């Protein structure tokens, strides 16, 4: 009996240990090199502190989607919270907010080329180009109160522009370069659009708009449209109704074009079509508003219908609307495509929390 | 009848006894004569489905934290963000907030977070640890939808004076000093424990989350902790016992960033201060036991993140929690075949947090009361049945009643073969952060609720020089209104009653102690199979339906072998953690969202010398013997092979 028990016990131990050890390890997928053409990169934010950000690519010609393209090209994860992506020449810059860095990759093959590190909480990058000296780009930051001036090719920090004196808070968000000026929205706990002279890298003006301007676009007439979400309830900064402001960049005058009636509405993701005459944004569905008539605020072009619309993009070539659905912000999200008139085309699955669309015009010649 | 009452041989008592023998035998060889052990388990314990931590494991891990002990020596899954970092426990596929921890009856779960950081509880300050599974936890309190961990201090009434000191030196600049002084007579006793440990915690690892990949050392991960536990026991008469406990601890730790972080220099720090006290009066009248207990658990936490190079502080939050726990309990014997328990609790939580950068936060006071009654009855020779009901009241509202019923059946197939089962309903109150956090707290949250079913088969056998025991548990739990945080249109997260989770599985625990020649051999093995799946999805695009919850391994197992002779001992411990998903919809082919399985093995070698009445021991330990590179939490590196040397003196 004793021997039987001993034998049984040892056998059980071995079964427990070896049996469970048979679980297979996840196998990484090999790839034989990307060669992307015209299409759209989808920057999947990932979940905060989960380090599961990723990049997807949709090729509208082949009608194909490629997920985890950064990982597959480089055999390394992207990082924590990928916020945005910009294309300049044959480079793509991926801003990884909670990893404090920007990766530079080949825009056609996603292979790693370099990085800008030592940032605080970067949100967007605006590349000013090369003007005799090194390449220059501006990087906005959620917390530091500084806009970093970097050489995006060498990966060095050239300078920083302190904007802390300009507003209640220190946050800088979306940026637009236009006619030698950099326009910067101060979103989190802010209400300014800052104007920076790119020849001196000095702040030359600060224009007040509605609370928390989260996105901006330039229209066909050179007006800058700024969408403010108004903040949120219980915020120590206070909440106000969301608003849409139009800035005349010649006179630096602002004009409030719309104030939402319901304080619970928090519109985001202002986009514009290629003609520069229709605005799009997310606010209980996707809305389309013509600049001329300012109509379309009440009825959405695309209804949300229980989905979690998280990002919006309008293809500059053909006006096709891309909407990101974050589902529960923890699992892989979806992208829906709609015609410019709001008719559903198709949908595809991408990474966690698709938060930004970056349209790529095609291969650099 | 009484002799044969419930001839519940083994498991706990014998095991504990033999474990002590094993320890003693590290000092000397002991020959065990044949003894007949007739032990009767009180009927109110016969139906409990639980597991006790053995003394060998506790002694080996005395200088470590509770998270490390449970990870290697229990079926509880520990999710650890690194050595010395936040570690939470999950019973049977439930959430960390569904594991309740009671220190001598005082709940240690933070009322704000709902969970316990097991890395902040040193094994040194606890005498007995037991795990209550599923519905068996209801007699101690509500909300343990997975289970409860009981940490008890029993007071050492043996001898008039004892002193022990453990000094540990370990890799990565780790030092630990643990002292204990007990004195007194059989009327009054004092037991004092002091401890301190610190680590630079700068272990090397291969950083695969950056490009180009490179060997690095973990930075910003050091910690330092210290504390005191003072217990005083007083027996004014045969039928009275008073105990006072006072536990104060300070902990400071740096919080390392994720592996992918390459940003500006950062200084991220968390300081915790905890004070726990309890005053308990136990009376032993002829009809049973009455105990009256009052306790306080207070904590202060300061967390900040500085970017010194850029000259700003990103976060700076301070929180304070003060909880008062009051309990009156009566155990009443109803003849030899019945037992009744009545319990009333009144708890008061006063908590608040403020972020000094944004000047935002909340404060809240919550009152809770509960009443519990249970009855146990021995039916015939082989059956014990029970029924329990708990009724809770919180913030002015009554919750639905929490009933539990179950049985223990002594199978006629052997001397010690028992089948146990129970069925329960349980509620877990939302944490104060879930309710009131700014922004996103939701005062309209309902309590999470579960229906738990447990079935357990205990078997044991003993003969000369051999003890063998085993337990097979099967369980199923359905949790509804599971609270999750989801982002809102305002780009902050809000708590909601979202998920429905079905958790089911089984675990096997086997143990044996035997004398092989002049050696005392102790073997243990456990295996847990846990399927915990999301069942509450509505939308077709939500692909998490039926998928395993994140960070819950389907397979996990432990094994342990202890060999001792003439004061020498060798211990080998193994812990296997199966594949875990890091994203709710991920499948087996989703290689970026899967953490691979890992097997860790530790080896302890030691020798104990007897010097008169005193003892001295030296132990050398190799942790992660085979230098396994693994991650318990994604992008959080864990230490490779490391070493510790421990000197122990007992007088």
- pLDDT of B23 reads 38
Here the tokens at position B175 are 């030092």
- Between the CA of residue B304 and those of A51, B274, B307, B441, what are the distances in Å? 21, 18, 10, 21
Here the tokens at position B354 are 């403020």
Distance from CA of B114 to the nearest CA of A (A): 20
Residue of chain A nearest B591, judged by CA positions: A26
- Between the CA of residue B338 and those of B42, B131, B374, B441, what are the distances in Å? 10, 25, 11, 46
E-assigned strand segments in B335-401: 338-355, 360-379, 383-394, 397-398
Q: Mark yes or no for CB contact B468/A24 under 8 Å.
A: no
Interface residue B599 vs chain A (CB under 8 A): yes
Residues linked to residue B340 through DSSP beta bridges, in sequence order: B332, B375
Optimal mutation site among A10, A11, A23, A146, interface B, most CBs of chain B within 10 A: A23
CB contact residues (below 8 A), chain B span 562-591, against chain A: 574, 576, 578-579, 582-586, 588-591
Q: Mark yes or no for CB contact B310/A80 under 8 Å.
A: no
What is the C-alpha end-to-end distance of chain B, expressed in Å? 44
pLDDT above 70 as % of chain A:
89
Distance of CA A260 to the CA centre of its chain: 24
Q: Which chain A residues have a beta carbon less than 8 Å from that of B310?
A: 120, 144, 146
Q: Mark yes or no for CB contact A17/B576 under 8 Å.
A: yes
**pLDDT tens, B551-599?**
999 999 999 999 999 899 999 999 999 999 988 887 666 777 888 999 9
Q: Mark yes or no for CB contact A13/B525 under 8 Å.
A: yes
Contact status, residue B99 vs residue B91, Cβ threshold 8 Å: yes
Q: Which of B208, B557, B592 sits opposite A17 (nearest CB)?
A: B557
d(CA B575, CA B624): 10
A68 pLDDT tier (thresholds 50, 70, 90) = very high
What is the C-alpha end-to-end distance of chain A, expressed in Å? 82
**Of A128, A77, A129, the residue nearest A103 (C-alpha):** A77
d(CA B434, CA B439): 10
Contact status, residue B438 vs residue B445, Cβ threshold 8 Å: no
Q: Which of B209, B486, B588 sits opposite A328 (nearest CB)?
A: B486
Here the tokens at position A57 are 């690519």
Q: Mark yes or no for CB contact A23/B314 under 8 Å.
A: no
Q: 């009724």: which residue's tokens?
A: B391
The sign one gets for the Cα dihedral B38, B44, B49, B54 is negative
User: What's phi and psi for A305, nearest 5 deg?
Assistant: 50, 55
Residues sharing a CB contact under 8 Å with residue A279, sequence separation 6 or more, in sequence order: A217, A219, A225, A244, A270, A271, A272, A288, A289, A290, A291
Q: Which chain B residues have a beta carbon less than 8 Å from that of A82?
A: none
Distance from CA of A274 to the nearest CA of B (A): 27
Contact status, residue B483 vs residue B468, Cβ threshold 8 Å: no
Q: Mark yes or no for CB contact A234/B438 under 8 Å.
A: yes
d(CA B557, CA B572): 14
CB contact residues (below 8 A), chain B span 428-487, against chain A: 438-439, 461, 463, 466, 468, 484, 486-487
A310 pLDDT tier (thresholds 50, 70, 90) = very high
Interface residue B210 vs chain A (CB under 8 A): yes
Interface residue B263 vs chain A (CB under 8 A): yes
Q: Mark yes or no for CB contact A26/B588 under 8 Å.
A: yes
In the predicted model, is pLDDT for residue A19 greater than 50?
A: no
Let me know how long chain A is.
365
Interface residue B313 vs chain A (CB under 8 A): no
CA-CA-CA-CA dihedral for B495, B501, B505, B507, to nearest 10: 10
Contact status, residue A335 vs residue A348, Cβ threshold 8 Å: yes
- Domain around B625: 3-650
d(CA B636, CA B258): 6
**pLDDT tens, B301-330?**
999 999 888 888 888 999 999 999 999 999
A28 pLDDT tier (thresholds 50, 70, 90) = low
B312-334 vs B288-307, strand pairing mode: antiparallel
E-assigned strand segments in B255-359: 267-283, 288-307, 312-334, 338-355
The CATH number of residue B451's host domain is 2.40.170.20
- pLDDT of B73 reads 87
Peptide bond into A206 cis (omega under 30): no
Residue A97, classed as helix, strand or coil, is: helix
Distance from CA of A191 to the nearest CA of B (A): 16
Residue of chain A nearest B312, judged by CA positions: A144
Interface residue A145 vs chain B (CB under 8 A): yes
CB contact residues (below 8 A), chain B span 326-385, against chain A: 358-360
Interface residue A7 vs chain B (CB under 8 A): no
- DSSP for B573-613? EEEEE--EESSTT--TT-GGGEEPPEEEEEEEEEEEEEETT
- DSSP for B109-170? S-TTTS---GGGSBGGG-SEEEEEEGGGGGGT-S--SSEEEEEE-----SSSEEEEEEEEEE
Q: Mark yes or no for CB contact A121/B584 under 8 Å.
A: no
Interface residue B285 vs chain A (CB under 8 A): no
Optimal mutation site among B220, B255, B310, interface A, most CBs of chain A within 10 A: B310
For the residues A85-99, what does the mean pLDDT come to? 96
d(CA B6, CA B646): 42
Q: What is the mean pLDDT of each run of 10 residues along chain B (651 residues)?
A: 35 36 39 44 82 88 91 88 90 91 94 94 94 91 93 82 94 95 90 95 94 93 96 92 95 94 93 96 93 96 90 90 96 90 95 89 94 93 93 90 94 86 94 90 92 93 86 94 80 83 93 90 93 82 84 92 92 92 76 87 94 92 94 92 95 89
Q: Which of A74, A170, A327 sits opposite B542 (nearest CB)?
A: A327
Name the DSSP class of B32.
P
Work out the number of other CB atoms within 10 angstroms of the CB of residue B149: 27
Optimal mutation site among B311, B490, B521, B629, interface A, most CBs of chain A within 10 A: B490
Residue of chain B nearest A104, judged by CA positions: B211
Here the tokens at position A165 are 């004196």
B493-516 vs B519-534, strand pairing mode: antiparallel
Q: Which of B259, B468, B527 sits opposite A9 (nearest CB)?
A: B468
Contact status, residue B65 vs residue B238, Cβ threshold 8 Å: no
E-assigned strand segments in A99-240: 101-106, 112-116, 122-130, 135-141, 146-151, 156-162, 175-178, 181-185, 192-197, 202-208, 213-218, 223-228
Q: Mark yes or no for CB contact A327/B574 under 8 Å.
A: no
Where does residue A160 rank: exposed (0-12), middle (13-18), buried (19+ CB within 10 A)?
Answer: middle
**Of A217, A237, A239, the residue nearest A227 (C-alpha):** A217
**pLDDT tens, A103-113?**
999 999 999 99
Q: Which chain B residues have a beta carbon less than 8 Å from that of A306?
A: 538-539
In the predicted model, is pLDDT for residue A7 greater than 60?
A: no
Optimal mutation site among A20, A112, A308, A326, interface B, most CBs of chain B within 10 A: A20
Here the tokens at position B412 are 């006629």
Here the tokens at position B622 are 């190799």
For chain A, what is the radius of gyration of the CA atoms? 23
Contact status, residue B223 vs residue B203, Cβ threshold 8 Å: no
The mean predicted confidence, pLDDT, of chain A is 88
In this predicted complex, what is the ipTM? 0.90
- Between the CA of residue B401 and those of B46, B137, B140, B480, what are the distances in Å? 24, 15, 15, 16
B312-334 vs B338-355, strand pairing mode: antiparallel
Residue A164, classed as helix, strand or coil, is: helix
Residue of chain B nearest A82, judged by CA positions: B260
Q: Which chain A residues have a beta carbon less than 8 Å from that of B590?
A: 26
**Chain A with chain B: Cβ pairs closer than 8 A:** 210
In the predicted model, is pLDDT for residue A72 greater than 70?
A: yes
d(CA A207, CA A216): 13
Structural domains of chain B, count: 1
Q: Mark yes or no for CB contact B264/A120 under 8 Å.
A: yes
Residues sharing a CB contact under 8 Å with residue A272, sequence separation 6 or more, in sequence order: A217, A218, A219, A225, A278, A279, A280, A314
- pLDDT of B16 reads 36
């Amino acid at each position: 009996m004793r021997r039987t028990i001993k034998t049984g016990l040892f056998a059980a131990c071995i079964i427990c240990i070896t049996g469970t050890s048979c679980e297979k390890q996840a196998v990484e997928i090999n790839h034989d090199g990307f060669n992307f053409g015209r299409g759209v990169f989808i920057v999947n934010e990932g979940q905060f502190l989960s380090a599961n950000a990723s990049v997807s690519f949709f090729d509208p010609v082949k009608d194909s989607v490629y997920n985890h393209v950064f990982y597959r090209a480089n055999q390394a994860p992207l990082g924590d919270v990928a916020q945005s992506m910009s294309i300049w020449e044959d480079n793509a810059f991926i801003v990884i907010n909670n990893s404090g860095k920007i990766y530079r990759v080949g825009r056609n093959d996603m292979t790693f080329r370099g990085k800008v590190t030592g940032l605080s909480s970067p949100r967007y990058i605006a590349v000013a180009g090369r003007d005799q000296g090194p390449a220059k780009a501006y990087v906005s930051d959620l917390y530091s109160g500084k806009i970093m001036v970097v050489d995006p090719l060498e990966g060095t920090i050239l300078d920083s522009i302190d904007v802390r004196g300009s507003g209640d808070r220190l946050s800088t968000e979306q940026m637009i370069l236009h006619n030698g000026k950099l326009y910067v929205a101060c979103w989190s706990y802010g209400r300014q659009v800052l104007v920076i002279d790119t020849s001196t890298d000095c702040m030359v003006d600060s224009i007040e708009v509605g609370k928390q301007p989260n996105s901006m676009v330039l229209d066909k007439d050179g007006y800058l449209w700024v969408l403010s979400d108004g903040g949120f309830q219980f915020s120590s900064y206070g909440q106000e109704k969301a608003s849409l402001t139009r800035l005349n960049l010649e006179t630096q005058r602002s004009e409030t074009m719309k104030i939402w009636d319901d304080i619970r509405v928090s519109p985001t993701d202002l986009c514009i079509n290629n003609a520069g005459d229709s605005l799009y944004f997310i606010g209980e569905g996707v809305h389309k508003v013509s600049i001329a008539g300012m109509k379309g605020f009440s009825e959405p072009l695309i209804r949300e219908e229980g989905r979690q619309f998280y990002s919006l993009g309008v293809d500059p070539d053909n006006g096709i609307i891309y909407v990101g659905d974050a589902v529960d912000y923890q699992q892989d999200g979806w992208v829906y495509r709609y015609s410019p008139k709001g008719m559903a085309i198709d949908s595809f699955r991408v990474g966690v929390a698709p938060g930004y669309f970056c349209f790529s015009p095609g291969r650099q010649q | 009848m009484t002799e044969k009452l419930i001839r519940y041989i083994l498991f706990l008592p014998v095991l504990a006894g033999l474990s002590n023998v094993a320890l003693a035998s590290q000092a000397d060889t002991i020959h065990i004569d044949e003894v007949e052990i007739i032990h009767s388990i009180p009927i109110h314990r016969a139906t409990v489905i639980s597991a006790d931590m053995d003394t060998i494991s506790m002694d080996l891990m005395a200088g470590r934290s509770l998270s490390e002990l449970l990870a290697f020596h229990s079926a509880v899954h520990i999710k650890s963000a690194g050595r010395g970092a936040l570690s939470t426990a999950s019973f049977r596929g439930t959430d960390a907030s569904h594991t309740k921890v009671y220190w001598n009856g005082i709940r240690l779960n933070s009322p704000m977070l709902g969970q316990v950081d097991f890395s902040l509880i040193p094994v040194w300050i606890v005498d007995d640890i037991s795990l209550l599974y599923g519905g068996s936890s209801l007699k101690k309190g509500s909300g343990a939808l997975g289970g409860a961990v009981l940490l008890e201090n029993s007071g050492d009434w043996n001898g008039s004076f004892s002193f022990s000191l453990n000094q540990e030196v370990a890799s990565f600049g780790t030092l630990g000093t643990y002292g204990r002084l007990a004195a007194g007579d059989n009327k009054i006793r004092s037991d004092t424990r002091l401890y301190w440990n610190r680590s630079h915690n700068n272990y090397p690892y291969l950083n695969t989350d950056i490009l180009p990949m490179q060997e690095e050392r973990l930075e910003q991960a050091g910690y330092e902790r210290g504390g005191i536990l003072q217990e005083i026991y007083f027996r004014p008469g045969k039928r009275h016992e008073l105990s006072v406990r006072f536990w104060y601890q300070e902990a400071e730790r740096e919080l390392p960033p994720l592996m992918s972080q390459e940003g500006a220099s950062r200084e991220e720090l968390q300081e915790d201060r905890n004070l726990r006290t309890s005053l308990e009066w136990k009376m032993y009248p002829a009809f049973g036991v009455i105990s009256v207990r009052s306790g306080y658990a207070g904590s202060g936490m300061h967390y900040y993140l500085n970017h010194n190079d850029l000259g700003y502080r990103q976060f700076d939050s301070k929180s304070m929690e003060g909880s008062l726990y009051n309990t009156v309990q009566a155990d009443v014997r109803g003849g030899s075949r019945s037992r009744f328990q009545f319990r009333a609790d009144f708890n008061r939580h006063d908590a608040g947090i403020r972020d000094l950068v944004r000047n935002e936060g909340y404060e809240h006071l919550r009152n809770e009361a509960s009443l519990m009654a249970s009855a146990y009855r021995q039916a015939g020779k082989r059956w014990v049945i029970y029924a329990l009901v708990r009724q809770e009241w919180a913030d002015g509202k009554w919750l639905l009643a929490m009933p539990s019923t179950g049985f223990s059946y002594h199978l006629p197939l052997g001397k010690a073969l028992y089948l146990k089962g129970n069925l329960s309903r349980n509620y877990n109150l939302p944490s104060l952060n879930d309710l009131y956090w700014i922004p996103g707290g939701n005062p309209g949250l309902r309590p999470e609720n579960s229906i738990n079913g447990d079935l357990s088969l205990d078997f044991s056998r003993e003969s000369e020089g051999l003890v063998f025991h085993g337990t097979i548990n099967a369980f199923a739990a359905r949790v509804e209104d599971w609270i999750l945080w989801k982002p809102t249109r305002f780009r902050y997260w809000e708590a909601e009653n979202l998920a429905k989770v079905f958790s089911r599985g089984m675990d096997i625990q086997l143990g044996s102690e035997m004398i092989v020649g002049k050696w005392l051999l102790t073997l243990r093995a456990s295996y847990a199979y846990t399927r915990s799946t999301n069942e509450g999805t509505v939308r077709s695009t939500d692909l998490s339906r039926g998928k395993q919850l994140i960070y819950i391994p389907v397979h996990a197992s432990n094994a342990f072998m202890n060999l001792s002779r003439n004061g020498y001992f060798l211990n080998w411990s193994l812990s296997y953690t199966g594949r875990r998903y890091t994203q709710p919809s991920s499948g087996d082919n989703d290689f970026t969202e899967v953490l691979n399985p890992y097997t860790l093995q530790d080896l302890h070698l030691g020798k104990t010398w007897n010097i008169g009445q005193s003892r001295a021991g030296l132990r050398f330990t190799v942790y992660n013997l085979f230098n396994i590179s693994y991650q318990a939490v994604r992008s959080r590196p864990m230490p490779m092979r490391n070493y510790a040397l421990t000197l122990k003196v007992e007088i």
